[in-house]
A = this chain, B = another copy of it.
Amino acid sequence: MAITVKGRATRQRIIEGAAAHLRSAGPGGVTLDDVRALTNTSKGQLFHYFPGGKEELLLAVARYEADRVLDDQQPHLGALTSWAAWERWRDAVIARYRAQGTNCPLGALMGQVGSTPGAAEVVHTLLTQWQRYVRDGIVAMQGSGRIRPDLDPDRTAAAFIAGIQGGVQVLRSTGRTDHLEAVLAVLLDHLRPAPAHAGAAH
């Protein structure tokens, strides 16, 4: 025996409680005592499940949140094979972040990039996966001739990632999704073939 069902449940409870608290307070503003109180646990449990202490806990939370980011877009993100799918995806992204408002888990996560060593890697992995999904979508659409063939899929996908990231970033400090919507509109428009280009605005 190495870990019981109960143990795993407790561990998960700690991660989720810490995640919830981390979303509202910044990473610097979260203390182990907060987590302890919020999850009805004791110091002993915290260090039992995360021997590395606070750093290990925060990293676990980071991974947990990173997974959720992609999962939340997942019905659409994995199958960007039609314009309708792209638009549904865009709407899902906007809706998700609008709902989240100022409390951005990824944002808080990025805030740790400087402090926690492993955080940068988690973020990097997330962004890479995210970008690959978009790239695959572009390639698929190019295959069926619905996206301009002269675009570099990787580079264009990178632009999407940057755009979304920035839109969310701005959202964090303004509370509005205007920037996110604007940049996504430009990016999507950029994918469309030149001919049908004229009346681009939707």
Q: Which residues of A contact B (CB under 8 A)?
A: 24-29, 107-108, 110-115, 120, 123-124, 127, 150, 152, 155-156, 158-159, 161-170, 172-174, 178-180, 182-183, 185-187, 189-190, 194, 197-201
Q: Are A159 and B174 in contact (CB under 8 A)?
A: no
A106 (CB) vs chain B CBs: closest residue:
B169
A26 touches which of B28, B123, B162, B167 (Cβ 8 Å): B28
Q: Told that A26-B112, A162-B180, A165-B166 touch, could you supply 7 new A-B pairs with CB distance under 8 A?
A: A108-B114, A127-B174, A150-B201, A159-B183, A161-B166, A165-B170, A186-B190
A23 CB to nearest B CB, Å:
9
Nearest-neighbour CB distance to chain B for A192, whole angstroms, equals 11
- Do A163 and B183 touch (CB < 8 A)? yes
Is the contact region of chain A dominated by helix, strand, or loop, or is it mixed? helix
Q: A114-B111, A197-B194 are in contact. Are A123 and B173 (CB under 8 A)?
A: yes
Which residues from B are CB-within-8-Å of A112? Answer: 26
Identify the closest chain B residue to A164 (Cβ).
B166
* A190 smallest CB distance to B (angstroms): 5
- Nearest residue (CB) in B for A27 is B28
Residue of B nearest to A169 (CB): B165
Residues of B within 8 A of A25 (CB): 114-115
